[in-house]
Amino acid sequence: MITVEVPLSGGRSYPVLVGDGALGELAAHVPERARRVAVVTQESVPVEVDTGREQRVFTIGDGEQHKTVATLQSLCEDFAEWGLTRSDCVVGLGGGLVTDVAGFAAAVYHRGLPVVHVATTLLAQIDAAIGGKTGVNLPQGKNLVGAYWQPRAVVCDTSTLSTLPDREWRCGLGELAKYHWLGGGRLDELDLQEQVAACVRIKAEVVASDERESGRRALLNYGHTLGHAIEIAGGHDLRHGEAVAVGLVYAAELARRLGRIDDAAVAEHRRVVGEYGLPSRLPEGLDDDDLMTLMARDKKVLDDGLTFVLDGPAGVEVVPGVDPAEARAALAAVR
């Protein structure tokens, strides 16, 4: 098993445990004073946990349509009915949707309970469960309501990935492809445990340098500006990682239009996305106006026009003030 530390100030650093059998370490990372543990999960998650405490399972719905303020309220009401206190603990057991919602509930219920995440999907293990970003969606966009709430630990038992459906696996591959440009390189040449650990190391280092996304942490959203817009505009017909893959190719095409990269760099984006078996074109039926509106609502947007994470001579950077006409024109390259 590999342990990666997320180094944070104020005594808030925490371990990410990666490997086959990591689930057996969960109870050791539940705070000692916790008498009860609320395990938040979904009926589709085929994993059970033993927290070593009195525990109750709370299920939320499957799919992005359940990642809402209403789900958060219902979950907190159920916590209150059970009598969960500030001394107790929440465990998020599942994929990125679960860890986002469970983490947000832990952040706001009684103004903050400790949370431990057990990530059971590739997406959650390499990205979503790590770093403390939690939240729910609004009709206007993804993750527009949320909080930063760091977990006490993250457990990434790679044996849980063996039962992932193909679409869920591809969802994680989109994030894995993203890490290629964030220092990961040829992750496809590593075994699964090392792939997960390599991504966790990259994310841990970035989070430690910019916990609340005032600058550098936005690099982790490479490919996400269009990706999130595709998810919302398309009613989540594409899974998150699939949409991010299209977003990566789009970001490369936009960067070329802006003179930041050359044809070879665009071809490299298409090669990596293609080798992971991911889409590189927009789904049929999406309207440019809708996509532009949604990208303008992205959380990275500053006062000075559209903001994107783009490749360039110095690597991937946050680029504010992108001309909307250039952003619109680049959409044609992924149609």
What's the mean pLDDT in 20-30? 97
Strands 89-94 and 115-119, how do they pair?
A: parallel
Lowest mean pLDDT among 38-52, 111-125, 234-248, 290-304: 290-304
> What value does the mean pLDDT of the chain take?
94
Looking at per-residue pLDDT, the higher value among 151 and 140 belongs to: 151
Helix (H, G, I), strand (E, B) or coil at 140: coil
Above 90 in pLDDT, residue 142? Answer: no
Above 70 in pLDDT, residue 69? Answer: yes
pLDDT at 299: 58
List, for residues 222-256, the tens digit of each pLDDT value.
999 999 999 988 887 888 999 999 999 999 999 99
Cα–Cα distance, 249 to 255 (Å, whole number): 10
Helix (H, G, I), strand (E, B) or coil at 211: coil
What's the mean pLDDT in 292-311? 80
Above 80 in pLDDT, residue 304? Answer: no
Above 90 in pLDDT, residue 24? Answer: yes
pLDDT at 143: 87
What single-letter amino acid sits at 124?
A
How many Cβ atoms are within 10 Å of 253's Cβ, its own excluded?
Answer: 21
244: tokens are 């991010």
List, for residues 128-140, the tens digit of each pLDDT value.
999 999 999 998 8
Instruction: Return the closest-CA partner of residue 323 out of 299, 300, 292, 294.
Output: 292
Q: Could you tell me which residues are beta bridge partners of residue 134?
A: 147
- Per-domain boundaries in the chain: 2-209, 222-334
| CATH (residue range 2-209) | 3.40.50.1970
Out of 3.40.605.10, 3.50.50.60, 1.25.40.10, 1.20.1090.10, which CATH number does the structure's domain 222-334 have?
Answer: 1.20.1090.10
83: tokens are 């009598």
pLDDT at 300: 58
Q: Could you tell me which residues are beta bridge partners of residue 323?
A: none
Above 60 in pLDDT, residue 301? Answer: no
CA angle 144, 220, 150 (to 5 degrees): 65
pLDDT at 303: 54
How many Cβ atoms are within 10 Å of 323's Cβ, its own excluded?
Answer: 12
Alpha-helical (H) ranges within the chain are 69-82, 96-108, 122-123, 166-179, 192-209, 224-233, 240-257, 263-275, 288-296, 324-330
